[in-house]
Amino acid sequence: MHESLETSAQTPRPETAGGLPAGAARDGGQLEKPAVEFRNIDIAYGKFVAVRNFSLAIRKGSFITLLGPSGCGKTTILRSIAGLVDISAGQISIGGKRVDDVPIYKRNIGLVFQSYALFPHKNVFDNVAFGLKYRNVPKPEIARRVSKALEMVRLPGSEKKLPSQLSGGQQQRIALARAIVFEPEVLLLDEPLSALDANMREEMRVEIKKIQKETGITAIFVTHDQEEALSMSDQIVVMDAGTMEQIGSPEQVYETPATAFVADFLGKANMLPGVVSSVDGHKATITLSAGQAVTAVSPKVLTPGARVSVVVRPQKLSVGASVPANKLAGRVVSTSYLGGSAIYEIDIGERTIIRANTPIDGKVAREGEAINVGFDPAGCVLLDEKGLRIA
């Protein structure tokens, strides 16, 4: 995965400070204008600031996801690109041209909503062609583009059908075709899969990503669904309370969360508070508040007595009679059998419950059963007292 984002917030979180000049992204040693750029934007509703000092440059042709809980500002940012929300400060550029004062209809963007937003009385052809007609595109060209767009979303021959004759997944495909038919510079997707069932969501994830790659369009996707973000994105922007918490590839934000919020929101990591009891170079022994001790590898040498939190993903934990390292004795609180794997909640003392998601090796442990759980010293992340990753 390529680096597609740079940010220049005034007080950046770990891994959010960009190393390139503002207004540029690097490609093969050359500087190019970002497809979309935010420069220190604020968005306020009266005294309430929904987005604060947000700066971001997005590389052309990349698939970027804004991820975070409800109310974090992600949809507000997306709507500001479309011109549906006014910014209070800063500026927004598309293709190097400032657009925050440009009318909506003059911004060359495609928008796919959470609801399909199709005209119920118009057939598929007229729904998809709607934007082209208002751009005075000749009729033969409209027919060609509509046909091409319907082929891309795998619904050729559906031109005469009404939306009511289509399934939910098919209606969302039509909404996607309508958004890409006029070849916009940027495609905005506002939680477009949330109304679909689980199987259809998975299918549409693949289709949207495939179409984005085929067209080379810059896509900005908003979701609160972690699985969607991890499976579809080139880069993920994790947001909370109107600010950027971390930016990086799916692997970066999952494996090395920059803050306690990212660790907890993305994948529900185990966060075990403790105190550094001894240090041997970059290896530190940490006595957990649960009473047991573990060893962790730290990017920098720690100081004995420092308060830290050990962050370890459920998938990084192993359970059973023998574990590779950092053996913790515990008792099973609950078991969720998932076929080839199981999710355990394990009490390791002092009401500290850790969650392990591990392949089944032998029999499944049941509630109340004594069990060992452990993880590799290099398989965790350390946070300081402020909840920031120690790097």
pTM attached to this predicted model:
0.87
Whether residue 137 contacts residue 154, with contact meaning beta carbons closer than 8 Å, is answered with no
How far, in Å, are 17, 39, 73, 190 from residue 67 at the CA level?
Answer: 18, 19, 10, 11
pLDDT of residue 197: 85
Q: What pLDDT shows up at residue 104?
A: 87
Domain range list for the chain: 5-108+184-264, 268-383
| Six-digit token string for 201 | 């969501």
Report the distance separating Cα 43 and Cα 73, nearest Å. Answer: 9
Neighbours of 27 (CB within 10 A): 14
Task: Check: CB of residue 243 under 8 Å from CB of residue 43.
Answer: no
CATH class, 5-108+184-264 region = alpha beta
Kindly give, in sequence order, each residue whose CB lies less than 8 Å from that of residue 73, ignoring residues fewer than 6 positions away.
43, 50, 51, 54, 239, 241, 242, 243
CA atoms within 13 A of residue 249's CA, in its CB half-sphere: 6
The whole-angstrom separation of Cα 66 and Cα 89 is: 20
Q: How many CB atoms lie within 10 A of CB 151?
A: 12
Residue located via tokens 């032998």: 362
pLDDT at 30: 53
> Backbone phi, then psi, for 33, in 5-degree steps?
-75, 135
**Per-residue confidence (pLDDT) for residue 31, from 0 to 100:** 61
In CATH, the number for domain 268-383 is 2.40.50.140
**Gyration radius of the chain's alpha carbons:** 24
Q: What is the mean pLDDT of each run of 10 residues along the chain (391 residues)?
A: 37 38 45 90 95 96 96 95 95 94 89 88 95 88 95 94 93 94 93 86 91 94 94 96 96 96 92 96 95 94 97 92 85 93 94 91 88 93 96 92
